[in-house]
Amino acid sequence: MTTYRLAVVAGDGIGPEVVAEGLKCLAAATEGTDLAFETTEFDLGAKRWHATGETLTDADLAAIKDHDVILLGAIGDPTVPSGVLERGLLLKLRFELDQYVNLRPSRLYPGEVSPLSEPGDIDFVVVREGTEGPYVGNGGALRVDTPHEIATEVSVNTRHGVERVVRYAFSVAAGRERKHVTLVHKHNVLVHAGHLWRRTVEAVAPEFPDVTWDYLHVDAATIKLVTAPASFDVIVTDNLFGDILTDEAAAISGGIGLAASGNVNPDKTGPSMFEPVHGSAPDIAGKGIADPSATVLSVAMMLDFLGHPELAAKVEDAVAADAAAKVAAGAAGSQRTTAEIGDALAARIRG
């Protein structure tokens, strides 16, 4: 029996609702196998902050580090000032655990609807840098709330940080059919960071002779994502560009309700964290109507990361089959509760 220690951070809004279904599907996938997950729930998020003023203490962090993987629901709440939980909890986890690869696959499952008239066969993955760029919090404000206010957010890009995520993106591409990497940046304007990224790709690419690569400015990439999304295989890009592009990628491939992600530390110096791309959706929280599919797909990514691709495929296939059935059922298919969708997915996983 292999036992994994799983830290569960359900978080805010719909987080706890979708995480419950994710765990239900994880149990279904591991039933009858020699895998077990021992879960620890962490009370983090808006409620904790209101009660104690804490977001993520050193003790929380140390306790989380003592796990193999993390499943996270959603972080963020309108009653907490913008940035407090995002920076103090979610980004702190990504940074402190050195989750430098933010892996965000996009697949348009057969039968699933895209707002594009001719989406084609969308199947690409965005490798978003996770610990640098404009997210590092390097900046400040002067003369706040005066006509002469100045605000800066400095994007930090290190050769070490760029090289390791670029190498990871090439290794992902090497394992895929089309073996192609597209570097997305804006080196015609952001000449310092942009050329660091370009030179790094040029230096790493020869390590992967089977993998081809090209370059797109980020503005052009937003166009190509809607005009020719099926042409992408692996996109590698910085933290902020990756944040924006992956919301667009979700929108064209079944919606944000299906977008899963992994915050991966490939060096395993800390646990990797799997979470739906969507937020806490306070407007529908507590109603039991959130779609847990993205969380269930994040569980699939977690199983794959842990070295169980066959179980991951089972879970992903269940979501794909359910998505197709939901579309075929029309309006009736979209009126299921969160738990009903979770039950349906768990049943499909059990086969």
CA 182 distance to own-chain centroid: 19
Does the active-site annotation cover 247? Answer: yes
State which residue, 74 or 349, has the beta carbon closest to Mn ion.
74
Considering the complex, what minimum distance in angstroms separates the CB of residue 325 from ligand IPM? 28
112 forms part of the interface with Mn ion (CB under 5 A): no
129 forms part of the interface with Mn ion (CB under 5 A): no
Catalytic residue among 186, 233, 238, 326: 186
Q: Is 283 annotated as a binding residue?
A: yes
Considering the complex, what minimum distance in angstroms separates the CB of residue 144 from ligand IPM? 22
Q: Which of ligand IPM, Mn ion, none does residue 194 bind to, with CB < 5 to 8 Å depending on kind?
A: none
Q: Is 219 annotated as a binding residue?
A: yes
153 forms part of the interface with ligand IPM (CB under 6 A): no
Residues contacting 90, CB < 8 A, separation 6+: 72, 75, 76
Site residues (CB under 5 A) for Mn ion, limited to 189-248: 243
Q: Which of ligand IPM, Mn ion, none does residue 90 bind to, with CB < 5 to 8 Å depending on kind?
A: ligand IPM
Q: Which of ligand IPM, Mn ion, none does residue 86 bind to, with CB < 5 to 8 Å depending on kind?
A: ligand IPM
98 forms part of the interface with Mn ion (CB under 5 A): no
Site string for ligand IPM, 194-233 (x = CB under 6 A): ----------------------------------------
Site residues (CB under 6 A) for ligand IPM, limited to 227-266: 243
State which residue, 84 or 324, has the beta carbon closest to ligand IPM.
84
129 forms part of the interface with ligand IPM (CB under 6 A): no
Site residues (CB under 6 A) for ligand IPM, limited to 63-82: 76
Considering the complex, what minimum distance in angstroms separates the CB of residue 69 from ligand IPM? 17
Binding site, annotated residues for substrate: 94, 104, 128, 219
Which residues of the shown chain bind ligand IPM in the complex (CB under 6 A)? 76, 86, 90-91, 243, 277
